[in-house]
Structure 1
Amino acid sequence: MQTVQTQYGRGETARPMTSVRGAGYSSRGRSGASTSGQSFDPFNQAVDKPGDVPPEEVIKGLEKKVNQLIEDSAFAAEEGKLQLALDKAKDAGKKERQLSKQREQLNIGDQLNLDLTYCVLFNLANQYHANKMYQEALNSYAVIVKNKLFNQSGRLRVNMGNIYFEQGKYSQAIKMYRMALDQISNSNRDFRFKIMRNIGNAFIKMGQFQDAITSFEAIMEGNPDMQTGFNLVLCYFAIGDKDKMKRGFQRLVSIPPPNIEQNDENNRIFKDEPIEDHEVFDEDALRAIAREKKKAAHRYIILAAKLVAPSIEANFSAGYDWMVEVLKASSNNNMASELEIAKSVQYLKTKDFQQALESLKAFEKKDQKLVGTASTNLSFLYFLEGDYKNSEYYADIAIDHDRYNSKAQTNKGQLAKARDHYQEVIGMDAVCTEAMYNLGLVLKKMEEYEAALIWFDKLHAILRSSPEVIYQIADIYDKQGNSVQSLEWFNILISVVPTDPSILARLGDMFENEGDKSQAFQYYSESYRYYPSNMDVIAWLGAYYVDCEVYEQAIQFFERAMLIQPSEVKWQLMIASCYRRSGNYQAAFETYKNIHDKFPENTECLRFLVKICTDLGMKDVDEYKTKLARLEKGNLNRASNETISNAGVVPSEEEVVGSFGFHSSLTKKPSSLFAEENKLSSVLDF
């Protein structure tokens, strides 16, 4: 056994110091480090060295970085920077996973921050959803709802249901909504009713209106609101139940207008009153929300009334009268007059102008609030009837009621001093497209083509795809003789309305004038394909085939013209002429004979009958010569007593089919609405 030396510094081995390590001593001496890596400092007076950061501080720093990334992601999403928001959300997820690993390394894994993990996953799912990455969003939501550590996570199935709804997977959306409904207590009534409304909306998308009605009726019994009431009326309308439509509308109008308590010095209840000047500066978000709710409620009631009024009674007039009475008896009685305006507009749609006039005139004495609207519509009606005096009178009333009523100014501008009125309208409303269009038409009628082009170019910049505007520009260039620009704009027009037969015919006419008959034939053929009843196009195509000596094709077009105008002898004469020119004299003779039976007074038919009978050596020639002589003699006697109008003279068959002599160019304007160059744009105020 080794002896222990009591004196220090000699060659013998020193006694172990384990007995005094609890006091901070070690075999390394006082200046040495302990086995734990820390120096002896019982009063914690030593200054920490760089890098000696406690684990708790490291964890807090990482959590702060994750929270900052979540906030940055949320702000980016609010600004519309969806991709940046998603990138920030992904970075937050990476940082949160690093945080979990750090806890495990420091043996503090039991100190999990579940709230932070929930925020990271929820924000990531939201950003996936915002970027239309539906499957990724569903996966992120699934991680949350399947984790039992997250309280109340089941309600996130509503978000999953919304994603399925956007994808059109309505049955899966309903499943998610119902699962969320099962996990929400009855104390959260408002939230439950909103989920039920989503279920009803999904049933509507699937066409299951009865199931949707069940959901909406449950909401209306528990916590009625305007949107649900409107949807319920729509469902009743879809199934065609008149009684339920009436009851649904009554329940809709019985919902009181939204009132929001205003926390101001007087603690007064906000009502829908006119905004005074001093209140403009007192506007706040709560007032704005209240006004938006009242506007939405107003819109739901009026739309529902317009939809179901024609269906609940024998006629739309009785339906509107019933709804007006219901509104007058409710808290929304201020909407009754507006519904009567809608009733007068419905009269216009059915072309019952007299009833519309009587309905609108009643507003002169009944409701001063809607005098401007009624007078604007009356001005429009009288203008349509050609009663310009009354039209101007009611336009003046509307303008007196509201000086800045651009619709009334537009209607008044259709009378005298149109140009000045339209310019005044544009001065009040720089984007009143009706006034700009009408001003361009007025300038065009005054042959101020350059000025008209300026306005139509401005209008084209606003309404890029408006066929009416493009047509006017093309037509003005044509009137100026600029065929190149005119053709270019007509080609643009065809790209917008490729099936318009009148524009195709107009292009055919322009190419014919340019001498390009092949292109003209192409456009005329396309026009005939879309509208095979245009007599000008039919005649042109028939004459084209005659000129090309393709008589069989020409006969087909002339036969169609004969079907459309059976009383016009010229089409039958052209058919007979085609048979004669193609060498089929027997068919020509039979055709002329049928024409003579239907039109015995037609001298052209008798002349060709005489000619064919003579050429064929037929014995009927003398009979037809006698009839022709008697008819010509009678015509001479009548000519001495009356003047024959050139319009009543039937052109000879040779003139009709001779070398494009008939309808070589279209003299009529295209029949489509936007092709009417003097078609002014009237304004009806709804």
Structure 2
Amino acid sequence: MNRMNMMDQFQVAAEEDDMYGGFGNQVDETETLTNDPAFQQAVRTSHGRRPPPTAARLKTGVRGNIIPPSSMGRPGPSSLGRPMTGSVDGANRPMTAVRGAGYSSQARGVGYDSGKSAAPALEGKGDDTPEERIRQLEKKVNELIEESCIASASGDYQTSLEKAKEAGRKERLLVREREKLSSADQINLDLTYSALFNLANQYTLNEMYNEALNTYQIIVKNKMFSMAGRLKVNMGNIYFKQRQYSKAIKFYRMALDQIPNTHRGMRIKVMHNISVSFVKLGQYNDAVTSLEVIMQEEPDMRTGLNLVLCYFALGDKEKMKKTFQRMLTVDLKIDDDEKYAPHPDDAQHTLILEVIKNDSLRQIERERRNTAERCIKTAAKLISPAIEHSFTAGYDWCMDQVKTSNFMELAHDLEIDKAIGYLKKKDFAQAVDALKSFEKKDTKVACTAATNLSFLYYVSGEESDLNQADKYADLALTADKYNPPALVNKGNIYFKRRDYEKAREFYKEALQNDSSCVEALYNAGLCNKKLKRYRDALDSFYKLHSILRNNGQVLFQIADLLDLMGENAQAQEMFMQLLGVVPTDAAILARLGQMFDAENDKAQAFQYNYDSYRYNPSNIKIIEWLGAYYIESQFCEKAIQYFERGAIIQ
């Protein structure tokens, strides 16, 4: 009965308060509350003071847009006394246990206000902030250093120096900016080092050695650069270029003290520089000390040659022999030539061989072998007259040593050099005998010997010797028909016999095999000149002029041909250019005097003829012309002086 009275009160309160006004579509479920176990439990116990259970358990969930009441109409802070947990202006209130407060998936008439305004958009850092300016300066310095290096690599040293200077100024500005921000500890030492080092290099390339040394001193004295001591090698190189060899040795040794023993290659290079500096100073004993250390640690051909040179200067015959033998045992560290031998039956090997036969590694090997052969032949030429009682005995000893070494193929080249040595001593008989010994040797050596013999017989000038020259030229062409020197010798023989057409054919063939053969090109021009083919001759000499710039003989032939072709203005220009090469040539001065005299330019003619007379006062024609000029100018006294000198000469 009490329970029913309570329900009646609830009904009255609901009608009077009308707390849920506006919910006209609400379904009245109060009749079912009596039979609702969950509701009855909430009334009897403190369960009602807890937050309301989910809609599924109370069966008071949302049906469409309808929200059931969630309060019993009693005031208080409990969950049963909260007003309006349903819709507001048609929008559903979310369950706060699942979604954040203030969120709504549907539009509301009045937006939900959480009491906080939206956060402002993030502002980017401006370009004028100190940090940004520093970053831009660093980027600019790096770009300038790269541009300087690129310009230097392309040979534009002036531009590279300007870029390096600008990089240095920017880097100093960068340091000052950091100091203003009290961030000196963040200074980029690598960037500072790069800017200074590049600037010093560019000063060196522009031959501004004092500025380069000052820049290197700034780097070396800065204790923050841990490896800067090695730059003393660069300073030593500058002093070496300035021929201050004592200072160069001082800096080389200071650098050597700071290079650890683990950097063996670097130490050997510095020691080699020290030895060369001692050689320049004439202190051969000190140079020998450094060179001997290098030959023990890492022997090479250049060091061996320098050591032979020092012992030659000291006159130590035994040490010269021992060092020459040590040179023959140096390991060049290159593969055998069998690696590049063709294998006709192996197609894969043939393809690989096509790739590697002329690659960069193969070119390095060739260069290393050529350097070794050149050093050995130079050493043999140097010590041969000194190690034995005669030049012949010394060369024979060197050849015997070479024949028993890994360079046995050089023995024939040494014999050729021996014959050339006889020629330099003007011992033609010995030279001919030495070269004749090659007639029955292998093809390559026989061809070289026959070519040299042909030239020897040709320069003797006798008709019988000319026949011998022709014979050996034929032998050389039989061994190698594409041999340009042999073809030139054959052409020279026909030129001397005045068969210019045939001589021209041999010169042309030599040029087809070697377009840079200057002897064939010059002689072909002479043949065309003899045949009065002036235009062809001029083409030949112009080609030669592009190869041999400022060569007096070539310039004379061009000027002479232009004069023969009647192009006087160009001929005069070429003769004047020739005078820039040989300013004291009396014949050229006389030739120009004749040309100006033919043009009736007496003043210019007198000037050139008088200069010719000063350099060659015995030329009768010039003396006569000067005498006639003074008579014509009514200076008889001076004319008499020239005629008297002419009479004395006659």
Q: Which TM class, normalised by the smaller chain length?
A: 0.5 to 0.7
> Taking structure 1 as reference, are residues 513 and 235 closer, same or farther at Cα in structure 2, changes over 3 Å only?
farther
The equivalences for 1:364-443 within 5 A come to 364-385=439-460, 386=463, 387-414=465-492, 415=494, 417-443=502-528
- Equivalent pair of 1:258/1:293 in contact (CA under 8 Å): no
What is the alpha-carbon distance in structure 2 between the residues aligned to residue 58 and residue 271 of structure 1? 61
Letter in 2 for 1:384: V
Which residue of the partner structure matches residue 123 of structure 2? 49
Letter in 2 for 1:328: K
> Taking structure 1 as reference, are residues 411 and 103 closer, same or farther at Cα in structure 2, changes over 3 Å only?
same
Unaligned regions of 5+ residues in structure 2, if any?
A: 1-118, 343-349
Which residue of the partner structure matches residue 296 of structure 1? 371
SS of structure 1 residue aligned to 2:303: helix
What is the alpha-carbon distance in structure 2 between the residues aligned to residue 72 and residue 221 of structure 1? 43
What is the alpha-carbon distance in structure 2 between the residues aligned to residue 523 and residue 57 of structure 1? 73
- Equivalent pair of 1:256/1:331 in contact (CA under 8 Å): no
Which residue of 187, 191, 194 corresponds with 1:116? Answer: 191
Moved more, 443-452 or 541-550: 541-550
Which residue of the partner structure matches residue 225 of structure 1? 300
Moved more, 45-54 or 114-123: 45-54
Which residue of the partner structure matches residue 355 of structure 2? 281
- Equivalent pair of 2:606/2:626 in contact (CA under 8 Å): no
Q: CA deviation at 1:344?
A: 1.3
What is the alpha-carbon distance in structure 2 between the residues aligned to residue 55 and residue 475 of structure 1? 74
Q: CA deviation at 1:118?
A: 2.6
Letter in 1 for 2:557: Q
- Let me know the Cα RMSD of the aligned residues: 4.0
Q: CA deviation at 1:159?
A: 0.9
Unaligned regions of 5+ residues in structure 1, if any?
A: 1-44, 260-268, 562-570, 572-686
Which residue of the partner structure matches residue 363 of structure 1? 438
Which residue of the partner structure matches residue 410 of structure 2? 335
- Equivalent pair of 2:590/2:622 in contact (CA under 8 Å): no
What is the alpha-carbon distance in structure 1 between the residues aligned to residue 279 and residue 647 of structure 2? 53
SS of structure 2 residue aligned to 1:364: coil
Q: CA deviation at 1:552?
A: 7.5
Which residue of 320, 325, 328 corresponds with 1:250? Answer: 325
- Equivalent pair of 1:538/1:558 in contact (CA under 8 Å): no
Q: Does 1:73 align with 2:158?
A: no
Which residue of the partner structure matches residue 550 of structure 2? 465
Q: Does 1:350 align with 2:350?
A: no
The equivalences for 1:185-200 within 5 A come to 185-200=260-275
Letter in 2 for 1:459: L
> Taking structure 1 as reference, are residues 491 and 66 closer, same or farther at Cα in structure 2, changes over 3 Å only?
closer
Which residue of 248, 258, 283 corresponds with 1:183? Answer: 258
- Equivalent pair of 1:177/1:199 in contact (CA under 8 Å): yes
Which residue of the partner structure matches residue 399 of structure 2? 324
Q: Number of residue pairs matched? A: 507
Which residue of the partner structure matches residue 673 of structure 1? none
Moved more, 152-161 or 183-192: 183-192
What is the alpha-carbon distance in structure 2 between the residues aligned to residue 516 and residue 295 of structure 1? 58
Letter in 2 for 1:405: N
> Taking structure 1 as reference, are residues 517 and 307 closer, same or farther at Cα in structure 2, changes over 3 Å only?
farther
**Residues 279-300 of structure 1: per-residue CA shift (max 9 Å, x gap):** 3423544433333222222222
> Taking structure 1 as reference, are residues 47 and 92 closer, same or farther at Cα in structure 2, changes over 3 Å only?
farther
SS of structure 2 residue aligned to 1:363: coil
> Taking structure 1 as reference, are residues 94 and 339 closer, same or farther at Cα in structure 2, changes over 3 Å only?
same
The equivalences for 1:67-216 within 5 A come to 67-216=142-291
Q: CA deviation at 1:182?
A: 1.9
Letter in 1 for 2:451: T
> Taking structure 1 as reference, are residues 281 and 183 closer, same or farther at Cα in structure 2, changes over 3 Å only?
same
> Taking structure 1 as reference, are residues 506 and 249 closer, same or farther at Cα in structure 2, changes over 3 Å only?
farther
**Residues 258-277 of structure 1: per-residue CA shift (max 9 Å, x gap):** 33xxxxxxxxx465876767
- Equivalent pair of 1:216/1:232 in contact (CA under 8 Å): yes
SS of structure 1 residue aligned to 2:332: coil
Q: CA deviation at 1:318?
A: 2.6
**Residues 191-242 of structure 1: per-residue CA shift (max 9 Å, x gap):** 2221121122222333433433333233223322222222222333344544
What is the alpha-carbon distance in structure 1 between the residues aligned to residue 615 and residue 469 of structure 2? 38
- Equivalent pair of 2:141/2:170 in contact (CA under 8 Å): yes
Moved more, 126-135 or 535-544: 535-544
What is the alpha-carbon distance in structure 1 between the residues aligned to residue 164 and residue 642 of structure 2? 71
> Taking structure 1 as reference, are residues 411 and 202 closer, same or farther at Cα in structure 2, changes over 3 Å only?
same
Q: CA deviation at 1:177?
A: 0.9
Moved more, 155-164 or 456-465: 456-465
Q: CA deviation at 1:472?
A: 2.8
**Residues 172-193 of structure 1: per-residue CA shift (max 9 Å, x gap):** 2121111112222333332222
Q: CA deviation at 1:491?
A: 4.5
> Taking structure 1 as reference, are residues 104 and 341 closer, same or farther at Cα in structure 2, changes over 3 Å only?
same
Letter in 1 for 2:411: A
Q: Does 1:453 align with 2:538?
A: yes
Q: CA deviation at 1:65?
A: 5.0
SS of structure 1 residue aligned to 2:243: coil
**Residues 531-578 of structure 1: per-residue CA shift (max 9 Å, x gap):** 67x68679969998999787787666766x5xxxxxxxxx6xxxxxxx
> Taking structure 1 as reference, are residues 342 and 102 closer, same or farther at Cα in structure 2, changes over 3 Å only?
same
- Equivalent pair of 2:422/2:428 in contact (CA under 8 Å): yes
Which residue of the partner structure matches residue 102 of structure 2? none
> Taking structure 1 as reference, are residues 504 and 343 closer, same or farther at Cα in structure 2, changes over 3 Å only?
farther
Q: CA deviation at 1:421?
A: 1.7
What is the alpha-carbon distance in structure 2 between the residues aligned to residue 528 and residue 240 of structure 1? 51
The equivalences for 1:478-557 within 5 A come to 489-504=574-589, 530=615
- Equivalent pair of 1:542/1:555 in contact (CA under 8 Å): no
**Residues 65-93 of structure 1: per-residue CA shift (max 9 Å, x gap):** 54444444333332333344334434443
> Taking structure 1 as reference, are residues 351 and 511 closer, same or farther at Cα in structure 2, changes over 3 Å only?
farther
> Taking structure 1 as reference, are residues 219 and 543 closer, same or farther at Cα in structure 2, changes over 3 Å only?
same
- Equivalent pair of 1:539/1:558 in contact (CA under 8 Å): no
> Taking structure 1 as reference, are residues 358 and 92 closer, same or farther at Cα in structure 2, changes over 3 Å only?
same
What is the alpha-carbon distance in structure 2 between the residues aligned to residue 336 and residue 371 of structure 1? 13
Which residue of the partner structure matches residue 82 of structure 2? none
Which residue of the partner structure matches residue 266 of structure 1? none
Q: Percent identity?
A: 51
What is the alpha-carbon distance in structure 2 between the residues aligned to residue 457 and residue 249 of structure 1? 46
